[in-house]
Amino acid sequence: MTNSFVSNFITKCVRSGINTPSNICLVAEKELNKIEETINKIEPLRTVQNNLRTVLRQIGGNRYKRCRKSIPSIEDFSIPIKDLQDNTRQMCDKICDFLSKQNAGVSARNIMDNVANKEKNTEVYSAIQRLEEHGILKRFEKSFDKTIHKGDCWADRAGLKEADEQKVEQGRSSEND
């Protein structure tokens, strides 16, 4: 899929009269900047959306049912960490392990670069947001230095490993049956 996108993008540029690699890169950078600006405008709405879902679940009874999301980057952060899917919980665990080895706060980019490959950046960032939402991590946003630190509920991260250990134990007991 990526190779065909690259090929199609280059073909589109050439048809538009943009022929040099440096000019094609400029076009790609402009489009990427536009996309990033749009995403940054939408980010605050995600928090409101998740909070409204929580309100509906808590007081709406059966009127609001949780459904699968068609866009994986929009998540329901009200789900307890111990109830997350295995891969998401493991990503949260990797982030906590990485942060526990740091002497100071680190940037989200630093975490993404050290915890997983580039293809998983969205998952890593989503897990960072989830951990922030649950108070396990906190972000300090100074004028130029946005760093992530251990949050007020840092001790609650033990629930990640406990949930994994319970799944392993359940797997062992079902093998022995």
- Separation between Cα atoms, residue 132 and residue 128, nearest integer Å: 6
**pTM to 2 decimal places:** 0.48
Helix, strand and coil in the chain, % to nearest 5: 70, 5, 25
Which pLDDT score, from 0 to 100, does residue 21 have? 92
- By the 8 A CB rule, do 100 and 151 touch? no
Query: Does the structure show a pLDDT above 50 at 69?
Result: no
Query: Does the structure show a pLDDT above 80 at 30?
Result: yes
Query: Does the structure show a pLDDT above 50 at 16?
Result: yes
